[in-house]
A = this chain, B = another copy of it.
């Protein structure tokens, strides 16, 4: 695996300049050569079922996509287009902040694969998934 080519500060600027990411209150908490940790600030509008008050799966999927994408971004210089994404929902998320850990599965010349796991504030695994990202343009 190549070394990161951008700083966490630079990558975080890119993250929060993205309006939907900003709406989700995303922030890069930590970036290592192997993982990225991104926190999400919960808000009332993220709720799905109003009685169960669980966080909407679409928000969890977005968080997984961003964490996987930005770990690739650390290696290629910038976030890249998502080709496809698979999300598995493991447990309902009660109201509260979340964090995601992103990792690269395979950095390829054209398409790359990365995964992410989402945890609640008690450290329980809420959702996880993996996606294919188009890295051809970014690596040129």
In Å, the complex CA distance between A90 and B132 comes to: 10
For residue A124, give the distance in angstroms from its CB to the closest CB of chain B.
10
Is A77 in contact with chain B by the CB < 8 A criterion? Answer: no
The A interface, classified by DSSP as helix, strand, loop or mixed, is mixed
Residues of A90-140 at the interface with B, using a CB-CB cut-off of 8 Å, are 90-92, 105-106, 108, 110-111, 113, 125, 128-130, 132, 134, 136
Is A65 in contact with chain B by the CB < 8 A criterion? Answer: yes
- B50 & A19 in contact (Cβ 8 Å cutoff): yes
In the complex, the chain B residue whose C-beta lies closest to that of A24 is B58
Is A82 in contact with chain B by the CB < 8 A criterion? Answer: yes
Is A8 in contact with chain B by the CB < 8 A criterion? Answer: no
Is A88 in contact with chain B by the CB < 8 A criterion? Answer: yes
Among B18, B47, B128, B132, which residue has its beta carbon within 8 angstroms of that of A19? B47
Among B19, B22, B84, which residue has its beta carbon within 8 angstroms of that of A88? B84
- A56 & B18 in contact (Cβ 8 Å cutoff): yes
Determine which residue in A21, A47, A88, A111 has the highest number of CB atoms from chain B within 10 A of its CB, and name it: A88
In Å, the complex CA distance between A66 and B10 comes to: 34
